[in-house]
Amino acid sequence: MPDTKTGKKIADLGAVAAGLAHEIRNPLNSLFINSQLLEEMLSELPEGVAPQKEEMLTLARANLKVTRRLNESLSAFLRFARPPAMDLALVDLNRVVAETLRFLDVDFSYHGIDLRARYHASSLPLLADEKQLKQALLNLLLNAEEALDKEEKVIRVTTGVRDGRPFVRIQDNGRGIPRADRRHIFRLFYTTRREGSGLGLPIVRQIIHQHGGTISLRSREGAGTTVTVALPFEAQFRAMFPGRLPLALPAEAGR
């Protein structure tokens, strides 16, 4: 856990980032709205009135795409600089993983991905912010999907208990991560994607760490990547963060 001085520095950085993001977002939103209006006006022009109509439409749409991407990156940066407070509840890791996978069923099927899930035989009770935890898992699964480059595309998802802690493991048979990149992939703004922001994996790690967990990665070029997220059981979480929780928390629905 960070000391008081470090915590204050982080909070101050978050406040500065929020103010800067606000100053950027206002003109960015104006640019987006003006680009939308310009696209609509150009689209309504009769053919032949403006010889360069299609070229101007292409530029307007390019502006829309860029401003939309910048706004998404800004939102992600704000999420990292000022993470939302956790809404903790008692949940079952098996159910959280299963629901996240169901959300991706259609997309995976459409892209010919063979999803193989194996769940621990008994429930894995955690204290977690379910929405944030699902977001972290979703990001990891979409990364695995993006890495698949073979005719046979396979993603394996496993839950279990290792070293006394629940875990979820996501394994793909994709291109793997080059050795030179592995040490940097959780670094803020580091990305190897042409349109990547370099914020996805740092946010994932931040969410996992806020839950008292760890995230580890193994990869081999040409063979794929395995990401393992280990989280504390409910009692372990309470021991790690004494005084942070009320005596009673909302229980998982249906338990």
Complete DSSP assignment for 15-32: HHHHHHHHHHHHHHHHHH
CATH number for the domain that contains residue 159: 3.30.565.10
CB 171 within 8 A of CB 225: yes
Q: What is the dihedral of CA 174, 171, 228, 234, to 10 degrees?
A: 140
**What pTM was estimated for this model as a whole?**
0.69
Q: Is there a single domain that holds both residue 180 and residue 216?
A: yes
The residue range of the domain holding 11 is 4-81
- 236 phi/psi in degrees, rounded to 5: -65, -40
Instruction: Give the DSSP H or E segment for 222.
Output: none
Q: Is there a single domain that holds both residue 101 and residue 136?
A: yes
Q: Is there a single domain that holds both residue 68 and residue 167?
A: no
CB 118 within 8 A of CB 94: no
- 194 phi/psi in degrees, rounded to 5: -60, -35
Q: Is there a single domain that holds both residue 192 and residue 94?
A: yes
Q: Convert the pLDDT of each residue in 81-136 to its tens digit.
A: 666 678 889 999 999 999 999 999 988 998 999 999 999 999 999 999 999 999 99
Residue closest to 227 by CA, chosen among 176, 165, 152: 176
Q: Is there a single domain that holds both residue 148 and residue 216?
A: yes
Count: domains in the chain: 2
CB 171 within 8 A of CB 194: no
Residue 142 lies in a domain: yes
The mean pLDDT value for 35-62 works out to 77
Instruction: Give the DSSP H or E segment for 202.
Output: helix 200-210
Q: Is there a single domain that holds both residue 73 and residue 130?
A: no
Q: Is there a single domain that holds both residue 148 and residue 167?
A: yes
Residue 196 lies in a domain: yes
Residues 6+ apart with CB under 8 A from 45: 53
Residue 75 lies in a domain: yes
Q: Is there a single domain that holds both residue 94 and residue 171?
A: yes
Q: Is there a single domain that holds both residue 68 and residue 117?
A: no
Confidence band for 45, pLDDT divided at 50, 70 and 90: confident
Q: Is there a single domain that holds both residue 67 and residue 111?
A: no
CB 88 within 8 A of CB 248: no
Q: Is there a single domain that holds both residue 37 and residue 10?
A: yes
What is the reported pLDDT for 3?
A: 46
- Tokens 């379910």 correspond to what residue? 130
**What percent of the chain is predicted at pLDDT more than 90?**
37
Q: Convert the pLDDT of each residue in 175-193 to its tens digit.
A: 888 887 877 777 766 566 5
Q: For residues 159 and 195, which has the higher predicted lDDT (pLDDT)?
A: 159
- Tokens 């928390």 correspond to what residue? 249
